[in-house]
Every structure is written in structure tokens, then in C-alpha cells.
Amino acid sequence: MNNLIVFFQTGGIAMLPLSFLAIILLAIMIDKIFFYHKHLKISKNLENLIYQPQFCYQTWQNSLTNLSAQHFYFSLWQILEQEKNQNNKIILENQATNLLKKLEKQMFSGVWVLETTISVAPLLGLLGTIVGMSASFKILGSNQLNSAGITSGVAESLIATAFGLVVAIVALFTFNLWQKITNHALDNLEIIATKFIHNL
């Protein structure tokens, strides 16, 4: 614990906003994990069913209605079930499209913070580098040579830069992974809607 405190103290002033970004990043990661398990996670059997060429209404109904009411796959199936009695494919397609847009918006909620972190974290690390190196050059320019002060400034710049890069890399990985998960889920939902409508 003491080593961690020393680490953040040595990193200088830039560590404060970087720590704030790291905490927000961790919160978003935890939120997306819970979001995935609550709204998007499906069994391997259902995944295979979606990509089967044939459409069996009863099998699909049994698989999708077993999901929780908050699940996005269930929400789509419920809308399709409610509107199918109108026997109008255009209306059904519009309803499915509107729902998919709404679900996509929910999936990407808060993702802009990840994009911002990817851009801002390295810049804050660079700011820490400038501050640390400025302190070192200030000591070098003075009449009194202080090796401890010089190395302290260099350490500050390196720690801030490294921490900024780590935060940005984790944010980038999280963003790309979440984008892959949501795009796959949206593809699955579109396939479900398309097969349902075409087999009316």
C-alpha cells in the first residue's frame, strides 16, 4: 500500500486526473460486464439456431421466450410476436428497425467516455513528462547541483507517461472488445428479425 502511495506521489500532478480516468474506466468495464450478462449473453445452442438456414417457429419461440424480460433478444421477439397479426411485412420491418436502433443506443451508452480516455490519457501523461522534465532542467540551470532532484523529475515524467499509456491501452482494448460484442449482437438480432419476417 505504501509503495502504491509513493508511486502516485512520484508521478506528480498528472497522476490525479489520470487516476480519475482510471477509476471511471474501471466503472465502465464493470458496468459493461453486467450489461452483457443481463441483456446480450446467449447460449451456444441459441447461437447455432440463429445461423441455421431453416426456420422452425416453435423452436425459436421456445428458445427466445426462455430468456429474461430484460434480454434484448426477448424484447425483439416480443415486438415481432405482437405485430405479426397485422400480416404487414413493411410495418413489421419498421417496428424491428426502430427497436434495433433503440437497443443499439443503449449498447453504446457511455462508450464515448472510452473514446475520450483513449485520446486524453496519453496527453495527460505527456503533460506529466513536461512538468517532470521542467523540474529537472530547472535544477540543472541552478547553481546548486542536486542529483536527487534531477532523478526525481525524470522519475515523475516517466511514471506519468507510462501510467497514461497504460490507461489509454486498457481503454482502447475495452472499446474494441465492446464494439465487437455489440456488432455481433446486432447482427444476430437482424438475422432473427429477417428470418421471422420472411417466414410469415
Q: What is the pLDDT of residues 48-83, one digit of tens each?
A: 888 888 878 888 888 888 888 899 999 888 888 887
Find the domain containing 110 and state its range.
Answer: 2-198
3 state SS of 122: helix
Predicted pLDDT at 117: 93
Predicted pLDDT at 2: 61
* Interatomic CA distance for residues 153 and 134, integer angstroms: 8
Q: Which residues of 73-99 are buried (b: 16+ CB within 10 A; e: fewer)?
A: bbbbbebbeebeeeeeeeebeebbeeb
Cell of 186: 446486432
What string of pLDDT tens digits covers the 200 residues of the chain? 566 566 556 666 778 888 899 999 999 999 999 999 999 999 888 888 888 888 788 888 888 888 888 999 998 888 888 877 766 778 888 888 898 999 999 999 989 999 999 999 998 888 877 776 666 666 555 666 555 555 555 666 678 888 889 999 999 999 999 999 999 999 999 998 888 888 76
Predicted pLDDT at 167: 92
Predicted pLDDT at 33: 94
* Interatomic CA distance for residues 25 and 110, integer angstroms: 10
Predicted pLDDT at 158: 78
Task: Provide the domain count of the chain.
Answer: 1
Predicted pLDDT at 193: 87
Cell of 132: 517532470
Is 66 buried (19+), middle (13-18) or exposed (0-12) by CB count in 10 A? Answer: exposed
Lookup result for grid cell 455489440 = 182
* Interatomic CA distance for residues 5 and 76, integer angstroms: 49
Predicted pLDDT at 81: 84
Cα distances (Å, whole numbers) of residue 34 to 40, 50, 69: 10, 23, 16
pTM of the model: 0.82
User: Is 128:161 a contact under the CB 8 Å cutoff?
Assistant: yes
